[in-house]
Amino acid sequence: MAQEMVRTTAVLKVGLWIWATLAVGAGLAAVAPSAAAQDGCKIAVLGDSLSAGYGIDLDEAFPAQLERRLAAQGYDCAVLDASMSGDTSAGGLARLDWLLADRPSHVIVELGGNDGLRALQIEQLEANLDGIVARLRSEGVEVLLAGMLAPPNLGREYGERFAAVFSQVAAQHDVPLYPFFLDGVAAEPALNQPDGIHPTAEGIGVIVERILPTVTAWLDDTLG
Is 195 a catalytic site residue? yes
**List 48, 49, 89, 106, catalytic entry:** 49
**List 51, 87, 105, 198, catalytic entry:** 198
189 burial (CB, 10 Å; 0-12 / 13-18 / 19+) is exposed
| 56 to 23, 83, 127, 194: CA distances (angstroms) | 13, 14, 32, 12
Is 49 a catalytic site residue? yes
Kindly state the helix (H) or strand (E) to which residue 3 belongs, with its residue range: helix 2-19
Name 84's bridge partners: 28
CB-CB contact of 128 with 169 (8 Å): no
Q: How far apart are CA 128 and CA 204, in angstroms?
A: 26
| Exposure string over 128-162, b if 16+ CB within 10 A, otherwise e | bbbbbbebbeeeebbbbbbbbbbbbebeeebbebb
Query: What's the chain's Rg over C-alpha atoms?
Result: 16
**List 57, 174, 195, 220, catalytic entry:** 195
The DSSP output letter for 59 is: G
Residues taking part in catalysis? 49, 195, 198
